[in-house]
Chain A
Protein backbone atom coordinates (compact mmCIF):
# COMPACT_ATOMS: atom_id res chain seq x y z
CA UNK A 1 0.00 0.00 0.00
CA UNK A 2 1.02 3.60 -0.49
CA UNK A 3 1.44 5.73 2.61
CA UNK A 4 1.55 9.50 2.62
CA UNK A 5 4.16 10.92 4.98
CA UNK A 6 5.00 14.52 5.73
CA UNK A 7 8.73 14.02 6.12
CA UNK A 8 9.50 11.43 3.48
CA UNK A 9 6.83 11.93 0.86
CA UNK A 10 4.81 9.02 -0.42
CA UNK A 11 6.23 5.62 0.41
CA UNK A 12 5.29 2.13 -0.69
CA UNK A 13 4.95 -0.42 2.08
CA UNK A 14 4.04 -4.10 2.01
CA UNK A 15 0.62 -4.65 3.54
CA UNK A 16 2.10 -7.44 5.64
CA UNK A 17 4.68 -5.11 7.21
CA UNK A 18 2.15 -3.03 9.08
CA UNK A 19 2.57 -2.99 12.84
CA UNK A 20 -0.58 -2.96 14.93
CA UNK A 21 -0.52 -0.90 18.11
CA UNK A 22 -3.94 -1.59 19.64
CA UNK A 23 -3.19 0.76 22.54
CA UNK A 24 -1.47 3.37 20.38
CA UNK A 25 1.41 5.53 21.48
CA UNK A 26 0.46 7.33 24.69
CA UNK A 27 -1.26 10.57 23.81
CA UNK A 28 -1.92 9.56 20.21
CA UNK A 29 -4.89 7.75 18.77
CA UNK A 30 -3.16 6.13 15.79
CA UNK A 31 -3.19 2.36 15.83
CA UNK A 32 -1.19 1.33 12.76
CA UNK A 33 2.45 2.09 12.07
CA UNK A 34 5.24 0.98 9.80
CA UNK A 35 8.85 0.74 10.75
CA UNK A 36 11.31 2.24 8.33
CA UNK A 37 15.03 1.78 8.70
CA UNK A 38 16.89 3.46 5.88
CA UNK A 39 20.57 2.54 5.89
CA UNK A 40 21.73 6.13 5.86
CA UNK A 41 19.94 6.90 9.12
CA UNK A 42 21.17 3.84 11.00
CA UNK A 43 21.02 3.12 13.87
CA UNK A 44 17.86 5.18 14.00
CA UNK A 45 14.56 3.91 12.62
CA UNK A 46 11.24 5.64 12.17
CA UNK A 47 7.91 4.49 13.41
CA UNK A 48 5.60 6.12 10.91
CA UNK A 49 1.84 6.28 11.36
CA UNK A 50 -0.12 4.80 8.49
CA UNK A 51 -3.06 7.04 9.33
CA UNK A 52 -1.46 10.45 9.98
CA UNK A 53 1.20 11.62 7.49
CA UNK A 54 2.78 14.01 10.01
CA UNK A 55 3.02 11.51 12.84
CA UNK A 56 6.27 9.65 13.12
CA UNK A 57 8.67 8.79 15.91
CA UNK A 58 12.38 8.29 15.73
CA UNK A 59 13.26 5.08 17.56
CA UNK A 60 16.40 3.14 18.29
CA UNK A 61 16.82 -0.52 19.18
CA UNK A 62 17.48 -0.56 22.93
CA UNK A 63 20.19 -3.20 22.50
CA UNK A 64 22.21 -0.82 20.38
CA UNK A 65 21.75 2.19 22.63
CA UNK A 66 21.84 0.74 26.15
CA UNK A 67 23.07 -2.83 26.12
CA UNK A 68 22.16 -3.45 29.79
CA UNK A 69 18.61 -2.24 29.47
CA UNK A 70 15.95 -4.93 29.75
CA UNK A 71 12.19 -4.86 30.03
CA UNK A 72 10.26 -7.55 31.88
CA UNK A 73 6.73 -7.73 30.59
CA UNK A 74 3.70 -8.48 32.72
CA UNK A 75 1.43 -11.39 31.81
CA UNK A 76 -1.15 -8.88 30.64
CA UNK A 77 1.32 -7.14 28.36
CA UNK A 78 2.58 -10.42 26.90
CA UNK A 79 -0.98 -11.36 26.14
CA UNK A 80 -1.66 -7.99 24.55
CA UNK A 81 1.36 -8.58 22.31
CA UNK A 82 0.17 -12.12 21.45
CA UNK A 83 3.57 -13.27 22.64
CA UNK A 84 4.40 -16.97 22.92
CA UNK A 85 6.29 -18.21 25.93
CA UNK A 86 9.62 -18.28 24.08
CA UNK A 87 8.64 -15.43 21.80
CA UNK A 88 11.32 -12.95 20.95
CA UNK A 89 10.70 -9.24 21.52
CA UNK A 90 12.35 -6.14 20.17
CA UNK A 91 12.54 -3.19 22.53
CA UNK A 92 12.55 0.20 20.86
CA UNK A 93 13.31 3.44 22.63
CA UNK A 94 11.57 6.59 21.49
CA UNK A 95 14.16 9.24 20.72
CA UNK A 96 13.58 12.92 21.31
CA UNK A 97 15.78 14.71 18.82
CA UNK A 98 17.31 18.11 19.29
CA UNK A 99 19.22 20.52 17.11
CA UNK A 100 22.10 19.98 19.50
CA UNK A 101 23.04 16.27 19.25
CA UNK A 102 24.34 16.20 22.82
CA UNK A 103 20.81 17.03 23.98
CA UNK A 104 19.22 14.05 22.22
CA UNK A 105 17.48 11.78 24.67
CA UNK A 106 15.91 8.34 24.69
CA UNK A 107 12.84 7.45 26.69
CA UNK A 108 13.72 4.57 29.00
CA UNK A 109 10.52 4.96 30.98
CA UNK A 110 8.19 4.31 28.05
CA UNK A 111 9.77 1.76 25.70
CA UNK A 112 7.89 0.39 22.72
CA UNK A 113 7.89 -3.39 22.79
CA UNK A 114 7.42 -5.15 19.47
CA UNK A 115 6.50 -8.75 18.84
CA UNK A 116 8.29 -9.14 15.51
CA UNK A 117 6.62 -12.45 14.67
CA UNK A 118 3.11 -11.04 14.90
CA UNK A 119 3.89 -7.36 14.25
CA UNK A 120 2.06 -6.17 17.30
CA UNK A 121 3.60 -3.45 19.45
CA UNK A 122 2.81 -1.71 22.67
CA UNK A 123 4.25 1.21 24.55
CA UNK A 124 4.90 0.08 28.10
CA UNK A 125 5.26 2.45 31.06
CA UNK A 126 7.79 1.39 33.68
CA UNK A 127 7.36 2.55 37.26
CA UNK A 128 10.33 3.61 39.28
CA UNK A 129 12.75 6.48 39.54
CA UNK A 130 15.62 4.60 37.94
CA UNK A 131 14.28 5.03 34.42
CA UNK A 132 14.48 8.42 32.85
CA UNK A 133 12.09 9.55 30.17
CA UNK A 134 14.96 11.77 29.02
CA UNK A 135 18.11 9.70 29.16
CA UNK A 136 20.88 11.41 27.18
CA UNK A 137 21.65 9.11 24.27
CA UNK A 138 25.28 9.87 23.82
CA UNK A 139 26.25 9.94 27.49
CA UNK A 140 25.54 6.21 27.37
CA UNK A 141 28.91 5.67 25.71
CA UNK A 142 30.62 6.17 29.07
CA UNK A 143 27.90 5.30 31.52
CA UNK A 144 25.73 2.23 31.02
CA UNK A 145 22.05 2.67 31.84
CA UNK A 146 20.66 0.76 34.80
CA UNK A 147 19.05 -2.56 33.94
CA UNK A 148 15.28 -2.39 33.83
CA UNK A 149 13.45 -5.14 35.59
CA UNK A 150 9.92 -4.06 34.85
CA UNK A 151 7.20 -3.28 37.40
Chain B
Protein backbone atom coordinates (compact mmCIF):
# COMPACT_ATOMS: atom_id res chain seq x y z
CA UNK B 1 0.00 0.00 0.00
CA UNK B 2 1.20 3.46 -0.87
CA UNK B 3 1.12 5.71 2.17
CA UNK B 4 1.23 9.50 1.76
CA UNK B 5 1.18 12.29 4.31
CA UNK B 6 -1.07 15.24 3.46
CA UNK B 7 -1.88 18.46 5.25
CA UNK B 8 -5.24 20.12 5.54
CA UNK B 9 -6.33 21.33 2.07
CA UNK B 10 -3.77 19.24 0.21
CA UNK B 11 -4.71 16.90 -2.59
CA UNK B 12 -3.85 13.43 -3.81
CA UNK B 13 -4.49 12.70 -7.48
CA UNK B 14 -5.03 9.26 -8.92
CA UNK B 15 -4.38 9.05 -12.63
CA UNK B 16 -5.55 12.04 -14.64
CA UNK B 17 -9.06 12.30 -13.41
CA UNK B 18 -9.43 11.53 -9.71
CA UNK B 19 -8.58 14.10 -7.03
CA UNK B 20 -8.97 13.55 -3.31
CA UNK B 21 -8.66 16.56 -1.05
CA UNK B 22 -8.38 16.71 2.72
CA UNK B 23 -11.23 19.07 3.55
CA UNK B 24 -11.45 18.88 7.31
CA UNK B 25 -9.74 17.15 10.21
CA UNK B 26 -11.46 16.83 13.55
CA UNK B 27 -10.34 14.44 16.29
CA UNK B 28 -10.03 11.04 14.67
CA UNK B 29 -12.15 12.00 11.66
CA UNK B 30 -10.98 13.19 8.30
CA UNK B 31 -13.34 14.64 5.72
CA UNK B 32 -12.34 14.03 2.15
CA UNK B 33 -13.53 15.81 -0.95
CA UNK B 34 -13.44 13.60 -4.01
CA UNK B 35 -13.56 14.69 -7.63
CA UNK B 36 -14.00 11.87 -10.10
CA UNK B 37 -15.35 11.53 -13.63
CA UNK B 38 -19.10 11.84 -14.12
CA UNK B 39 -20.97 8.92 -12.81
CA UNK B 40 -18.20 6.83 -11.25
CA UNK B 41 -19.42 5.11 -8.11
CA UNK B 42 -17.63 6.09 -4.95
CA UNK B 43 -18.61 4.54 -1.67
CA UNK B 44 -17.52 3.88 1.84
CA UNK B 45 -15.93 0.47 2.12
CA UNK B 46 -18.44 -0.58 4.80
CA UNK B 47 -21.22 -0.53 2.24
CA UNK B 48 -19.33 -2.82 -0.06
CA UNK B 49 -18.58 -5.14 2.87
CA UNK B 50 -22.21 -5.02 3.96
CA UNK B 51 -23.36 -6.25 0.57
CA UNK B 52 -20.69 -8.93 0.63
CA UNK B 53 -21.82 -10.08 4.08
CA UNK B 54 -25.44 -10.06 3.03
CA UNK B 55 -24.53 -12.25 0.04
CA UNK B 56 -23.00 -14.73 2.42
CA UNK B 57 -26.15 -14.82 4.54
CA UNK B 58 -28.32 -15.07 1.44
CA UNK B 59 -26.32 -17.98 0.05
CA UNK B 60 -27.07 -20.04 3.15
CA UNK B 61 -30.68 -21.05 2.63
CA UNK B 62 -32.86 -24.12 2.78
CA UNK B 63 -35.43 -25.24 0.24
CA UNK B 64 -38.00 -25.47 3.02
CA UNK B 65 -37.62 -21.76 3.77
CA UNK B 66 -38.29 -20.96 0.13
CA UNK B 67 -41.42 -23.09 0.11
CA UNK B 68 -42.60 -21.35 3.29
CA UNK B 69 -41.99 -17.99 1.67
CA UNK B 70 -43.97 -18.94 -1.46
CA UNK B 71 -46.89 -20.12 0.66
CA UNK B 72 -46.76 -17.04 2.83
CA UNK B 73 -46.65 -14.78 -0.19
CA UNK B 74 -49.57 -16.61 -1.77
CA UNK B 75 -51.58 -15.52 1.25
CA UNK B 76 -50.41 -11.90 1.10
CA UNK B 77 -50.54 -11.04 -2.60
CA UNK B 78 -53.08 -11.94 -5.21
CA UNK B 79 -51.43 -12.34 -8.57
Question: Which residues does A use to contact B, with CB under 8 Å?
Answer: 7-8, 25-28, 40-44, 55-58, 72, 74-77, 94-99, 101-102, 104, 107, 109-110, 123-127, 133-134, 138, 141, 150-151
Contacts and interface: CB of A to CB of B under 8 A. Distances in A.
A151 B39 contact: yes
Contacts, number: 107
**Chief secondary structure at chain B's binding surface:** helix
A104 B79 CA distance: 19
Nearest to A141: B76
A133 B54 contact: yes
Given A107-B58, A138-B76, A151-B40, 9 more contacts: A25-B55, A27-B53, A28-B59, A42-B70, A75-B38, A76-B39, A96-B61, A110-B51, A125-B51
Nearest to B50: A133
Contacts of B29: none
B1 interface: no
B54 to A, nearest CB: 4
B23 interface: no
Contact of A27 (B41, B56, B66, B70): B56
A125 B47 contact: yes
Interface of B: 38-44, 47-48, 50-59, 61-63, 65-70, 72-73, 76-77, 79
B55 A97 contact: no
B26 to A, nearest CB: 21
- Nearest first, the 6 A-B pairs at minimum CB distance are A110-B51, A101-B72, A127-B43, A27-B52, A97-B65, A74-B39
A65 to B, nearest CB: 10
Given A74-B39, A109-B51, A151-B42, A96 B57 contact: yes
B70 A44 contact: yes
Contacts of A75: 38-39
26 contacts: A26-B52, A27-B53, A28-B59, A44-B66, A57-B55, A58-B58, A58-B61, A74-B38, A94-B54, A94-B55, A95-B58, A98-B65, A99-B65, A101-B68, A101-B73, A107-B54, A107-B58, A109-B47, A109-B50, A110-B54, A125-B48, A127-B47, A150-B39, A151-B39, A151-B40, A151-B42
